[in-house]
Structure 1
């Protein structure tokens, strides 16, 4: 091996050691760096290490930042990494709590994320985030379905898939006797730990849960449709109108709420709707557009009388039917 090739190999090994073995709390002395290089079969003099660190710090673009901590127990450490530890923790939490990622794939992804920081900080990523009642998917095919949908969206073509439901014996069975759904995909939404596809079909935009899709395929010869409908689409408004991602007719509904629930309403509908105080000083009204469904009525009932549907009359009447049915069931 030529001296030039050996120097390149030494620099690469030094970068790897600094990236994985050091951080601000765990610097390495130059003698220790020499030892670790020797363990990799690379001989180095102490003077050359100082020169190598200067070379890495002087690289154009400031790709590496290697700092020195002086004093007892001091040494050199890699300060500039692709991700801050706090950023990696956020990514790990997102992976861990996602229902659509299997437990095995979650573990593998978290291990890969750990390669972007030191081994000392990686240990902090191996933590469990407590999520009550969270059930992880058992099917890794969803990752490939998501990839297929992304490719189709980028290419501007339609997709087809079989859409499934769970049976009592815990099997996923296609709807409509196994016929393919053919839709024009526009965007993917992550809501309540699940992926949903927003697609144009039958003259309107609809959503489909990605983990219920089977045999998703791109259709390269079928250009995507629904550009005009999607041009005026606001995904945030759409998800605010839905409850549990269940479809229903969109209607403007006026809700009368106890003042203590102002925060709950803002969390659900954002700051745009006006909260109109009532003369009694204890309640307020707000008018929002929602997709009226049984899940919406269940959401209202969940406030145990703190929220009342004031209008329109037909939605209020539907709420009463739901409550009458529940009263009969629990009589």
Structure 2
């Protein structure tokens, strides 16, 4: 008996049909499955499809299950795929919320994610999550920059790039006249909707905003430096110390806060620091390491009279100078 066309692909095509064309509300009968296989150029008989469904259900380590819905309008449908619908929705939300992924690339990624569920459920992924103040990037090269940095980190090699800032013409202009930066990359971190590279250079670990890095080039003949420094480096602590990712002198700062701001302090600094109640019963103090910068003073000022810098004296004095300069500005 001659072998029918497309038999080598039949199981894979049948699996794709079940993933994309079925769910608990949209089962397909065996005759319908035969028809859809025929539409894809694969000849099939009802008896063989029953056997194929049984084979797919008994594949070792399979993440899915094909269920038969009996009765009028019944048929077969896929209960699980590689991703649960809730997991896909979470990934879609992350793509929508990401500032560095362009609108066009966001749509492409979300369309690809939709291939992991039925076409009926795919419509539920069109969520368009609103993120306040979120401005999408217009530059897709950052995806390739991130990939190049990951490759260099994995290979343990250095990278070169130009570091840029926005100018008044709304273009990225290289700093320091186009100086080439050469650093040893160690880790990429995500903060406030942006990627940052933590790298070793000039005897210490520093961070660079990835979307401001242009022409990133991996250097195959180099060896990454700073292993000892990175071994003693705590990324989470480093990120907590900074505000708006601006560097500054590291100080142990004590804040005096109204009790109602306990949650705000825990959100910012975690549950590690001690909240020490004050004698008046209405305030507490918290002491945390801070890289003191204008952004830190702006964060404190945002709480109004509810949060004050209690010490050390030089940081409290700098906070006062900042407030005095703002008062002079608005007279």
- Please report the TM-score for the alignment, with normalisation by the length of structure 1: 0.96
> Displaced runs of 4+ in structure 1, greater than 6 A?
none
- Look up the match of 2:165: 165
- Look up the match of 1:199: 199
- Aligned-residue RMSD, C-alpha: 1.5
Question: What are the ranges of 5 or more consecutive residues in structure 1 without an aligned counterpart?
Answer: none
- Look up the match of 1:214: 214
Alpha-carbon displacement from aligned partner over 1:197-253 (angstroms, at most 9, x marks no partner):
000111111100000011111111221111111001111111111101111111100
C-alpha displacement of 1:4: 7.0
- Look up the match of 2:326: 326
1:84 paired with 2:107, answer no
Give the total of aligned pairs. 331
- Look up the match of 1:298: 298
Distance 1:330 1:71 in 2: 76
Kept after mapping to 1: 8 A contact 2:273/2:286? yes
1:3 paired with 2:6, answer no
- Look up the match of 2:308: 308
Single out whichever of 8-17 and 279-288 deviates more from structure 2.
8-17
Cα 1:59/1:3, change in 2 over 3 Å: farther
Distance 2:91 2:230 in 1: 30
Distance 2:8 2:67 in 1: 21
Provide the secondary structure at the position in 1 that maps to 2:256: strand
Provide the secondary structure at the position in 1 that maps to 2:168: coil
Provide the secondary structure at the position in 2 that maps to 1:164: strand
Distance 1:184 1:167 in 2: 28
Distance 1:102 1:30 in 2: 43
Alpha-carbon displacement from aligned partner over 1:41-85 (angstroms, at most 9, x marks no partner):
333222222111001111222354211223343221112311111
Kept after mapping to 1: 8 A contact 2:69/2:75? yes
Kept after mapping to 1: 8 A contact 2:5/2:42? no
Kept after mapping to 1: 8 A contact 2:197/2:210? yes
- Look up the match of 2:123: 123
- Please report the TM-score for the alignment, with normalisation by the length of structure 2: 0.96
Single out whichever of 96-105 and 57-66 deviates more from structure 2.
57-66
Alignment of 1:35-114 (within 5 A): 35-114=35-114
- Look up the match of 1:26: 26
Kept after mapping to 1: 8 A contact 2:14/2:37? yes
Distance 2:63 2:192 in 1: 37
